Amino acid sequence: MDQAVSATDSPPSTMSSPRILVPLALAGVYLIWGSTYLAIRIGIAGFPPFLMAAIRFPIAGGLMYAFLRWRGVAAPTRRQWFNCLVTSCLLLGLGNGLVCYAEQTVPSGIAAVAVASVGLFMAIFAGLYGQWPNRLEWLGLIVGFAGVIVLNLGNGLRSSPLGAAALVLAAIGWAFGSIWSRRRDMPAPTMGAAAQMLCGGIPLGLMALAGGERMPHLPSLQATLALAYLVVAGSILGFTAYVYLLHNVRPALATSYAYVNPPVAVLVGVALGGESVHALDIAGTVVILAGVVAITLAKTKSH
């Protein structure tokens, strides 16, 4: 697999071996990101959605950046900062910001299912760079988009057209940003994650400003703890794991979280958040995941 940069963050060691880091990174994006959907729903009960994300990512990115520079990791070049800014607008501004916005009216589990369509959009955007889907991938695309339609007929999204539209745009932004960044000069993975999160405060802050968001009162302890969980687990651990996978394994494996997060998010939402799911929600979930699995299997066979 091609990588934008060949630099590493630290000297080679047993703990830095892909045989150890890849499984850990996969566990991170599978379990941690699956749980962050409920954390977002809890957090936005005390913070405006875009403002919460604008607070979350610069804190996480700043902590990581300071630590990495202290460890002697090279700072990004000017071009790399620009590429990180563009990527953060797509991944964090659109991808995460719109999920936070949607969860004001959409259950966290259903939001995770809708975002699973990111794998479908990635297959299409890869075609813009000459990697057009094969027959099995086209079948997966058709099945997956059919699932998105079914999901929109369910109670979770049908009651919130704006929320549904926001989730589709979030998936498109995340998918294009992931494909685009793989072909650009980016910092080494952990520094790249830190730089992107630092830059992410810019588009998210502008979105909060455009939406007229402000803190009407002090957030509750529960909302504050949810934000802290999103900073540490969702951002520092989860996002760093995703950036590492994006640059070290094939795209099919890096994006396999797309069909593992939904069942995790639904289970967490039902068990801890008191959420409920309906028949069409379940049907849409099954169809979307079938489409994403078909695309992943097709990509696996082609590598």
Whose tokens are 């610069």? That residue is 58
d(CA 178, CA 130): 16
Tally of residues, the chain: 303
- The predicted pLDDT at position 188 comes to 87
d(CA 133, CA 17): 32
pLDDT per position as a tens digit, 77-133: 999 999 999 999 999 999 999 999 999 988 887 787 777 778 778 878 877 777 776
- The predicted pLDDT at position 80 comes to 96
Mean pLDDT of 33-50: 93
- The predicted pLDDT at position 66 comes to 96
Listed in sequence order, the residues at least 6 apart from 23 whose beta carbon sits closer than 8 Å to its beta carbon are none
Q: Compare 56 and 292 and report the one with higher pLDDT.
A: 56
Listed in sequence order, the residues at least 6 apart from 217 whose beta carbon sits closer than 8 Å to its beta carbon are none
d(CA 296, CA 123): 9
**pTM of the predicted structure, to 2 decimals:** 0.79
Listed in sequence order, the residues at least 6 apart from 58 whose beta carbon sits closer than 8 Å to its beta carbon are 197, 198, 200, 201
CB 145 within 8 A of CB 199: no
Q: In the numeric block, which tokens belong to residue 224?
A: 């504050």
Secondary structure (H, E, C), 208-262? HHHCCCCCCCCCCHHHHHHHHHHHHHHHHHHHHHHHHHHHHCCHHHHCHHHHCHH
d(CA 44, CA 227): 9
Nearest 5 degrees, angle CA 124-CA 202-CA 73? 85
pLDDT at 160 over 80: no
- The predicted pLDDT at position 7 comes to 41
Neighbour tally for 15: CB within 10 Å: 9
CB 299 within 8 A of CB 131: no
Of the listed ranges 50-54, 63-67, 192-196, 271-275, the one predicted with least confidence: 271-275
Mean pLDDT of the chain: 82
d(CA 161, CA 154): 11
Distance of CA 153 to the CA centre of its chain: 24
pLDDT at 5 over 50: no
